Chain A
């Protein structure tokens, strides 16, 4: 008889405990809030493509000889390997070409690197000859109308602009020996506008 009473008492205690735990759970749940945020986004495909095209033949002045024609390389992002010979005063060459934005993003020029040409010669008059040529050399890259290319110039998507590269000897004398002209690499860096 006593044993039965103890069992009932124990069950009673367990029941009360369970009720308490459930009560605590309900109380806890009732004083919290879950705030939520949700959504969806997508990223459109994009293409970045600034390149040269429509490279013209050489426009030669005077007795200038074109030894090697320039070529478009590296997905048309480079014009290179041209070689010309100036034979007389007032000789010169120019090439025209376009820079095109075929991508989906507007662009602008962030940097222009246009070094000063380097002249080298041989013989007793090497210094004089080199100076003569480099001091009277015009090397320029401009827009076709002669406007200077500047940092910040824009090239909107779908837009193309015509450029002209000029190399001219403006001196009135000729050197004693052959003078080689190097350092003609120009870099234009376009970035997203």
Chain B
């Protein structure tokens, strides 16, 4: 037996030992299995404007263009109104509806101060006199102010009221001598998922 043959025999012997050891070891093991099934149900997020009502006018206010709700139901726009007499106002009633499966809450509200643009020699005074006597509000139907963290739970609808009023408590000197345009009426309300929200 030469030296090379000896190595081969030792190699075979070790391989055989390992194989036997594995079989023995396998004989003392047990595989434990845990099986199950999980699904993610469908869910949706849909906060929408609905049920926009015709304008409610007081005094001599007129509506040039009625507002519309966009195709996503997330924007009311294009309304154009004219106020003429102190005490005039226009009001739009509509609903905000949570058609989704998550509860929501208001995370941000932006209601700007209207801007006035006059013309003619008395433009600056007209702008001040008009804008100082305007109120622009978005409230719930009962007059309660919208507030950050107000909730809108899944399936819930709340009625809102948008009002632009030219106050009646002005004197003759505060009447505009020329027409005044009023802009910066863009309001945004951002709804976010409520923290405790769960989906069935």
List residues of chain A with CB under 8 Å of any chain B CB.
Answer: 30-48, 104-105, 192
Complex: how many Å from CA A47 to CA B172?
Answer: 7
Known: A33-B190, A46-B175. A38 touches B84 (CB 8 A): no
Contacts of B79 in A (CB 8 A): 39-40
Judged by DSSP, the binding face of A is strand
Interface size class of B (residues with CB under 8 A): 35 or more
A33 to chain B, nearest CB (A): 4
Complex: how many Å from CA A43 to CA B86?
Answer: 10
Known: A33-B45, A35-B188, A46-B176. A41 touches B164 (CB 8 A): yes
B176 to chain A, nearest CB (A): 5
Q: Quick one: CB contact mask for B181-200 with A, threshold 8 Å, 1 for yes?
A: 11101111111110000000
Stretch binding the partner chain, chosen from B14-22, B33-41, B70-78: B70-78
B70 to chain A, nearest CB (A): 9
Contacts of A46 in B (CB 8 A): 84-86, 175-176
**B187/A43 in contact, CB under 8 A:** no
A109 to chain B, nearest CB (A): 16
Complex: how many Å from CA A36 to CA B190?
Answer: 8
Which of A33, A40, A42, A192 is the one whose CB lies under 8 Å from B74? A33
**B86/A192 in contact, CB under 8 A:** yes
Known: A32-B191, A44-B179. A39 touches B185 (CB 8 A): yes
**B172/A35 in contact, CB under 8 A:** no
**A33/B191 in contact, CB under 8 A:** yes
- Nearest A-chain residue to B74, judged by Cβ: A35
Given contacts A33-B45, A38-B186, A42-B181, 8 further A-B contacts (CB under 8 A): A34-B190, A36-B77, A37-B185, A38-B76, A41-B90, A43-B116, A44-B176, A46-B86
**B74/A32 in contact, CB under 8 A:** no
Contacts of A37 in B (CB 8 A): 67, 75-77, 138, 162, 185-188
**A35/B47 in contact, CB under 8 A:** yes
**B75/A41 in contact, CB under 8 A:** no
**B80/A41 in contact, CB under 8 A:** yes
Q: Quick one: CB contact mask for B114-129 with A, threshold 8 Å, 1 for yes?
A: 1010000000001000
**B102/A31 in contact, CB under 8 A:** yes
Known: A36-B186, A37-B186, A43-B84. A30 touches B180 (CB 8 A): no
Which of A42, A47, A48, A104 is the one whose CB lies under 8 Å from B182? A42
**B185/A41 in contact, CB under 8 A:** yes
**A34/B82 in contact, CB under 8 A:** no
- Nearest B-chain residue to A48, judged by Cβ: B172
A31 to chain B, nearest CB (A): 4
Contacts of A41 in B (CB 8 A): 80-83, 90, 114, 164, 181-182, 185
A110 to chain B, nearest CB (A): 13
Known: A36-B74, A40-B79, A43-B179. A30 touches B45 (CB 8 A): yes
**A34/B74 in contact, CB under 8 A:** yes
- Nearest B-chain residue to A106, judged by Cβ: B85
Complex: how many Å from CA A2 to CA B64?
Answer: 75
Q: Does B149 contact A (CB under 8 A)?
A: no
B49 to chain A, nearest CB (A): 6
- Nearest B-chain residue to A50, judged by Cβ: B172
**B190/A192 in contact, CB under 8 A:** no
A133 to chain B, nearest CB (A): 39
**B189/A35 in contact, CB under 8 A:** yes
Complex: how many Å from CA A193 to CA B181?
Answer: 25
A35 to chain B, nearest CB (A): 5
A135 to chain B, nearest CB (A): 40
